[in-house]
Amino acid sequence: MMKIRTREELNQKYREYSRSLKSQKKQILVCGGTGCVAGGSLKIYARLQQLMLEQGINCVVQLEKEPEHNSVGIKKSGCHGFCEKGPLLRIEPSGILYTKVKVEDCEEIIEKTIVGDEVIDRLVYHDLDGKAYDKQDEIPFYKNQTRIALEHCGKINAESIAEYIAEGGYQAVAKALFDMTPEEIIEQITESSLRGRGGGGFPTGRKWASVLRQTEPEKYVVCNGDEGDPGAFMDRSMMEGDPHKVIEGMIIAGIATKAHHGYIYVRAEYPLAVERLKIAIEKATARGLLGKNILNSGFDFDIKISQGAGAFVCGEGSALTSSIEGNRGMPRVKPPRTVEHGLFDKPTVLNNVETFCNVPPIINKGADWYKQYGPEGNHGTKAFALTGNVVNTGLIEVPMGTKLREVIFDIGGGVKGGEFKGVQIGGPSGGCLCVSATENHLDLNMDFDSLKKVGAMIGSGGLVVMNNSNCMVEVARFFMQFTQNESCGKCVPCREGTKRMLELLTDITEGRGTLEHITMLEELADTISHTALCGLGKTAASPVVSTLKYFRDEYIAHVVDHKCPAGQCKALVNLVIDPDKCKGCTKCARMCPVNAITGEVKKPHTIDASKCIKCGTCMDGCKFGAISYE
């Protein structure tokens, strides 16, 4: 591959590749994110290529070739975001989005949409009312989003550096190298009020300035891709879908802080992200955009990948650097902070994937442009992983300060399988938002400061929607179990405290709870939050504190009335058959794994509560809806 030696050569390549891209008559973008790949998108990609070859359609896979007119481009893109409807396929330039595509659909797609100009109605998105949307940008899920960090995700081939360059990639590096001093870069970042997207919300500019101030000649830039929050996959999608943007952001951080070595720490659970980053680093190095003397500026920068081995606590700064060094990933007492003594004891810039993805657009377009989004002090956009009981599961990006209602009902399409009960935001360190007599969080602005006021946090951006079949005590127990599992064991409050809290919560969900349990939970929560060593421990109690605050009735129902209002805590519910609805078809009696159901044919059946294991098989199987929780 030819090296790009100077800024002029980069500009020349930019013109060449974008011309080549524009000369393509049509482009097919097959989603190559984890979700769609699991749904079979790679087979669709191969089938489409094969079909075009057979039919003699001029099909272009690489941009590096000379532009040919009337050609059709086909590429594997990063995550389109609308994972619920995958595998997804987008057709440019018309912007058609096909959902739930199957291999058998490929022939028709080529014939009607690629050779012809017809839209296949069966494959486009239909909303719950049956309204069809031909174009991706018209679908409410996409229409209400603003994409900055995810700008290229789903639009470019994640494995092609040429496409990234064609979209203006690495121009921000050139600008930072030749038009700006490190101080000016930091000034722009500070001015944009970009704050850490990993959860902490620490001002990025201030962090970079502290590292620049250090006189130590050896410094590091570390990208935290250890996205361990259950229910979050924003960083994964960015690393998979637009790896060069992560790299570009890191190089700029290097230029700004005079660091020459970078590390990307990725979870082992994200094999596709590791592969795409490896390819991107290899290509950027081969093109001379990483390595020695980048674009003949005299600046050197290299990046290595370090893979995690399954420890949530490694998302914490000092634990992460300790893991890269080959040790147990345990946090240490701070100060000294990572900016002074980080990786290999050297000054280190440690930022999250999404934070780095926001850097190139800010450098290219300026802080003032970035500040048009979001409220004062919380500028920009935030990516969220919208999951749980919501109609449109997927990856979204909205301006900071967007109301929760818009996210769940406009973009998310509403709640699935029941009524809205609440959302859990910020994972095991975050809290719950809900609608109750005193609170209405649906109209809350989602930004760092507003969420903090109600005891929740934006965290890395996981939004898990819950309906009335989800028990909040059980949710709190689930998160406590997670934190307890992941506690590294170094400090007593977290190691012992989370264990005791988990025991108390388990007692409550299994029907052994008393009012005293709630008091003890509150006491422990207070102690752990004040005395634990790192962020994991300090926030471990947040889901409990927040559910106790907003769903106290539910806790009381468990310990005083011995009832689980949501019907999820099996020890506290009984399955019963409604004799008016039961037709006596005997299906449930045959399905029951423990033979707890008896009754004569065509007469109402009954469940023997002493035998019942409350598995719910009978309830799922009953065609008449006669079985329910008491």
Partner 1 sequence: MKKEEIKKLDEILQAHDYNPSLVIAVMQDIQKEYHYLPKESLTYISKALKLPEAKIYGVATFYENFSLDAKGKYIIKICDGTACHVRKSVPVLEEFRKILGVSEEKPTTDDMMFTVETVSCLGACGLAPACTVNDEVHPAMTPEKARELIKELKEESAK
Question: Interface with partner 1 by CB under 8 A: which residues?
Answer: 34-35, 37-39, 83-84, 86, 227-233, 236, 268-271, 306-312, 323-330, 385, 387-389, 393-394, 424, 427, 462, 464, 466, 470, 475, 478-479, 482, 485-486, 488, 615-616
User: Hey, how many other C-beta atoms are within 10 angstroms of the C-beta on 102?
Assistant: 13
Distances in Å between the alpha carbon of 28 and those of 20, 33, 109, 111, 395?
Answer: 15, 15, 10, 13, 21
**Residue whose CB is less far from partner 1, 205 or 461:** 461
Report, in Å, the least distance between residue 233 CB and partner 1: 4
Tell me the one-letter amino acid at 309: A
- In the Cβ-directed half-sphere of 292, how many Cα atoms lie within 13 Å? 0
Q: Which is nearer to partner 1, 111 or 269 (CB)?
A: 269
Please identify, using beta-carbon distances, which residue of 115 and 615 lies nearer to partner 1. Answer: 615
| Cβ distance to partner 1 smaller for residue 6 or 469 | 469
Contacts of 205 (CB under 8 A, 6+ apart): 186, 187, 189, 190, 191, 192, 193, 194
Residues 454/567, Cβ–Cβ less than 8 Å: no
Task: Write down the least CB distance from residue 66 to partner 1, Å.
Answer: 38
Using the CB atoms, write b or e for 345-372: b if 16+ within 10 Å. ebbbbbbbbbbbbbbbbbbeeebeebee
Minimum CB distance to partner 1 smaller for 30 or for 256: 30
Tokens for 484? 């307890």
Nearer to partner 1, 576 or 615 (CB): 615
Q: Whole-angstrom Cα distance, residue 155 to residue 166?
A: 12
Instruction: Report the residue number, 319 or 589, with the smaller CB distance to partner 1.
Output: 319
| Choice between 160 and 306, CB closer to partner 1 | 306
The distance of closest approach from Cβ of residue 144 to partner 1 in the complex, given in angstroms and rounded to an integer, is 18
Least separation in angstroms between CB 223 and partner 1:
16
Q: Is 353 helix (H, G, I), strand (E, B) or coil?
A: helix
As measured in angstroms, the least distance from the Cβ of 236 to partner 1 is 4
Specify the residue, 17 or 312, whose C-beta has the smaller distance to partner 1: 312
CB of 1 to partner 1, least distance (A): 24
Burial 50-60 (b: 16+ CB within 10 A, else e): ebbeeeebebb
Cβ nearer to partner 1, comparing 32 with 288: 32
Q: How far is the CB of 203 from partner 1 (least distance, A)?
A: 27
DSSP state of 572: G
The distance of closest approach from Cβ of residue 306 to partner 1 in the complex, given in angstroms and rounded to an integer, is 8
Q: How many residues does the chain have?
A: 630
Provide DSSP, 219-260: -EEEEEE---STT--HHHHHHHH-HHHHHHHHHHHHHHHT--
Task: Considering the complex, state which of residue 105 and residue 486 has its C-beta at the smaller distance from partner 1.
Answer: 486
Q: Rounded to the nearest whole angstrom, what is the least distance from the CB of residue 269 to partner 1 in the complex?
A: 6
Residue 535's identity, in one-letter code, is G
Least separation in angstroms between residue 175's CB and partner 1 is 33
Separation of alpha carbons 515 and 536, rounded Å: 27
What single letter denotes the amino acid at residue 460?
A: S
User: For the chain, what is the total number of helices (H) and then of strands (E)?
Assistant: 25, 22
Reported as type and span, the H/E element at residue 431 is strand 431-434
Minimum Å gap between C-beta 617 and partner 1 is 9
How far is C-alpha 380 from the chain's CA centre? 17
Q: Rounded to the nearest whole angstrom, what is the least distance from the CB of residue 604 to partner 1 in the complex? A: 27
Non-local (6+) Cβ contacts of 523 within 8 A are none
- Closest CB to partner 1 among residues 225, 497: 225
Rounded CA-CA distance 498/476 in Å is 12
Beta bridge partners of 135: 96
3-state secondary structure of 72: strand
Q: For residue 584, give every residue at least 6 positions away whose Cβ sits within 8 Å of its Cβ, in sequence order, or none.
A: 599, 600, 601, 602, 603, 604, 605
Q: In 10 A of CB 608, how many CB atoms?
A: 12
